[in-house]
Amino acid sequence: MHSNGLFLQDVSGFLGVYYTSIALMNGVAAVLLWRNSQQKGGFLWSVIWAITACVMLVLASFALSGVAEMVPALPAVVRDIVNKLSGPVIYTVGTMVMLTVLFVFREFFVKPMVAWTGLNISLIVMGLSMADENFASIVMKADNVPIVGLVFMLAFFTWLATSQAVVNDRRIAQGLPPTEKLHDEKVLVWPDLVYTELICMIAVSAFLLLWAIYLRAPLEEPASSVKTPNPSKAPWYFLGLQEMLVYFDPWYAGVVLPSLVIFGLMAIPYLDFNKKGNGYYSISERKFSYIVFQFGFLELWITLIILGTFLRGPNWNFFGPFEYWSPYKVAVLNNVDLPQMFWVGLLDQPLPKSPAGSSGLMQAGYILLRESPGLILLGSYLVLLPPLLAVTVFRSFYSKMGLIRYLVMSNLMLLMLSLPLKMILRWTVNLKYLVSIPEFGLNF
Amino acid sequence: MASIGETIRTSQIWKSIFRHPMPLDRRNRIVVMLTNFFLHLHPVSIKKQGIALSFTWCMGGVTFFLFLVETVTGVLLMFYYRPTLEWAYNDILALRDVTSLGILRELHRWAAHAMVITTWLHMYRVFLTGSYKPPREFNWVIGVILLLLTLLLSFTGYLLPWDQLAIWAITVGSNMARATPILGYEGPGQQLLTIGGIDMITDASDARFGLLGARFVGEETLNRFYVLHCIAIPLAAALLLAIHFWRVRKDGGISGPL
Ligand code: HEM
């Protein structure tokens, strides 16, 4: 099902305003750059943004024409290709690659003109996508709008933090103090801080009022405990956890992992023994903790929320961004447990099973035997790997942290990595559970 | 005009309310910070870097402001809303269609979403500036608890409109508790808690039951979540916020390079 004319007429007003705002934004940028065009490249960029503004005005007028064929949209072919290509694997690997590239080449990407180009591109792609009915119906769902906001805010603040870190890292390399140090003279809180706070409060209030006036809070049919909606989704901030249910059982994805997230966050100040980088933006002085945190926050929390909100439809199936959420889509699931792979697949013999009428202890022994491949793997992962790392890559960590702190850190990291590892095992060898003891309700 | 202002500011009533003269000169700008109840949260003077928007993003402040917005709009909503199966949904409907000032619910809901986002962003900034490092470790821990409370506030509030969106989101979310190891009746190891052949963990005694007050999301749950949402969690959050702010001061103010 692709965009029909009626829908396009509905969104044309919104898109008109949207493109006009982008035009305004670029217009302001052009004027500001024009003013200090003596700066290197200022003139050229000023012209580029002026042209962008004009193009956006043209797009706005096309959209405002209200004629369905005129509303700027991605060609159907492109949308089909995107839908066909997208899937959990591409999505996860893609976001990972993108974040890595942004990180490695951060000196390039934080340049204001590069970042501004990136903002323009994402806004335009967003606008073109909004002309797709399937895309718009999910993105514009009232409770999903904040997540779109979250994505843009995170991008902005990551840029803001990284560009300060890049400057500081350069200064530190030259033996200079971070820029924050240059402004450590004291000022009076009244008026300097009090007025900033007042302005912030007014701005936030204005923003909230506009948001509340233009977007109605959702209210669906009255609750009914017999009519289960499909998909049934938790509130958006928990959708990362719901997405983890694809790979783990609820006891781990829904109880143990969230508890570990909370515990792990609380433990950060006590595990990070690096005294540098306290009170200013820096990456090079604390690369390890930076990468671990960003991997956990941006990749394992935020991108999973986006995936769970925008790309998971009925029956928690994956849908491309422009795909119709059909409840009839079937996904083939042929996942296999490790014991099955090991005993039946590899050794070509039936799963170990206790003889009928054997004692409880005997049964337990057989279960342990059946699950031994997974238990040994898991055991070595959590018990053998930490000491092994301690004498190799984490040698200096271990000597600085001491036994207990080191063990807490290494196990927290290994448990955090259990999620991406399980994802990879699922995608590559269709692994369902490493250990599966249904007798005990314990699947991992 | 000036003289009217002057008269007001020198009147007995004015002077009894504000314990300080107008903060127009340096001395009074210091005095105002020390003698005003609301302002004394702040220090008198502060490093310029600590109030730079590019440094703190004002995110902690915005989060606190949103908490206040939620408190005010929440109290107003409580005037209209009854947490019972009979009324909950209808009261929300009336809030939209009948009540004047019809954006109360919108303000409350969008500010709640925004607060979740700004709390994350605040945590993000604190991490990126390394501000959790000594001596601020424990304030970070308090922050994490505040983050948890913010999510729980949002989660418990999600149920109150009692529409399809509400009960199914809470059903999906709270189903997890059923799988709690040992304490959930579908969790691994729940068989361990068997006393004298009697299973202690059933669907009427497990962790999920404790959360919902029933076997499924029903009227007991609505009542339980209402009390948590309007009283228990806000009080806990208010207490922790007070400690959080107090610690910011005691730990030496906003962090900065040594
Ligand atoms: C309800 C949520 C919260 C509120 C209202 C709040 C409020 C504030 C405020 C107003 C400040 C002053 C500096 C600033 O604005 O950045 C602050 C500082 C701080 N917050 Fe929070 N906070 C909250 C949650 C958190 C969370 C989730 C964390 C971390 C996990 C955290 C950790 C800290 C730390 C360590 C500082 C000191 C930072 C420094 O000295 O640079 N807070 N908080």
State whether the beta carbon of B132 lies less than 6 angstroms from ligand 1.
Answer: yes
Do B57 and A157 make contact, defined as CB atoms within 8 angstroms? yes
B246 to chain A, any CB pair closer than 8 A? The answer is no
List, in sequence order, the alpha helices (H) in A316-359. Answer: 338-339
Do B164 and A221 make contact, defined as CB atoms within 8 angstroms? yes
pLDDT band at B1 (very low <50, low <70, confident <90, very high): low
Do A188 and B26 make contact, defined as CB atoms within 8 angstroms? yes
Per-residue pLDDT tens for B2-14? 789 889 988 999 9
Atom of ligand 1 nearest to the CA of B64: 5
pLDDT at position B206 is 85
Closest Cα of chain A to B4: distance in Å? Answer: 24
pLDDT at position B192 is 78
Give every CB contact of residue A431 below 8 A, 6+ residues apart in sequence: A335, A336, A337, A338, A341, A422, A425
Which chain A positions have a beta carbon within 8 Å of B155's beta carbon? Answer: 235, 238
Kindly give the parts of chain A with pLDDT less than 70.
Answer: 1-5, 37
pLDDT at position B195 is 78
Closest partner residue to B169 (CB to CB) among A235, A274, A441 is A235
pLDDT at position A43 is 86
Do B128 and A149 make contact, defined as CB atoms within 8 angstroms? no
pLDDT at position A268 is 97
B102 to chain A, any CB pair closer than 8 A? The answer is no
Closest Cα of chain B to A129: distance in Å? Answer: 24
List, in sequence order, the alpha helices (H) in chain B. Answer: 2-10, 12-17, 26-35, 53-56, 59-80, 88-97, 104-128, 137-159, 164-178, 207-212, 219-227, 233-250
B137 CA → ligand 1 middle, Å: 12
Q: Are A335 and A430 in contact (CB under 8 A)?
A: yes
In the stretch 172-191 of chain A, residues with CB closer than 8 A to chain B read 177-178, 180-191
A256 to chain B, any CB pair closer than 8 A? The answer is yes
CA distance B214 to B209: 5
Atom of ligand 1 nearest to the CA of B120: 27
Which chain B positions have a beta carbon within 8 Å of A192's beta carbon? Answer: 46, 48, 51
B115 CA → ligand 1 middle, Å: 13
Closest partner residue to B111 (CB to CB) among A208, A274, A279 is A208
Q: Are A396 and A385 in contact (CB under 8 A)?
A: no
Cβ-count burial B134-161 (b if 16+ within 10 Å, e if not)? eebbbbbbbbbbbbbbbbbbbbbbbbbb
Closest Cα of chain A to B12: distance in Å? Answer: 24
pLDDT at position B96 is 86
B19 CA → ligand 1 middle, Å: 30
Name the residue with the closest Cα to ligand 1, atom 28: B143
Burial class (CB in 10 A: 0-12, 13-18, 19+), A210: exposed
Per-residue pLDDT tens for A210-236? 999 999 999 999 998 888 898 999 999
A144, A182, A238, best to mutate vs chain B, most B CBs in 10 Å: A238
Percentage of chain B beyond pLDDT 90 is: 60
pTM higher than 0.90: yes
Instruction: Please state the separation of Cα A420 from the chain's center in Å.
Output: 13
> Does pLDDT of B193 surpass 80?
no
Closest partner residue to A266 (CB to CB) among B30, B127, B144 is B144
Average pLDDT over residues B227-242: 97
Of A186-190, A332-336, B217-221, B236-240, the least confident: A332-336
State whether the beta carbon of B147 lies less than 6 angstroms from ligand 1.
Answer: yes
CA distance A155 to A142: 21
Closest Cα of chain A to B148: distance in Å? Answer: 8
Domain B57-250 sits in CATH 3.40.50.410: no
Burial class (CB in 10 A: 0-12, 13-18, 19+), A83: middle
A vs B, Cβ pairs < 8 A, gives 270
Which chain B positions have a beta carbon within 8 Å of A297's beta carbon? Answer: 124
Q: Are B176 and B238 in contact (CB under 8 A)?
A: no
**Residue B218: count of CB within 10 angstroms of its CB:** 15
Per-residue pLDDT tens for A124-167? 999 999 999 999 999 999 999 999 999 999 999 999 999 999 99
CA distances to A249, A441, B197, B199 from B193, rounded to whole Å, are: 21, 14, 10, 7
- Could you tell me which residues are beta bridge partners of residue A437? A442
Please, what is the angle between helix A42-64 and helix A5-35, to 10°?
160
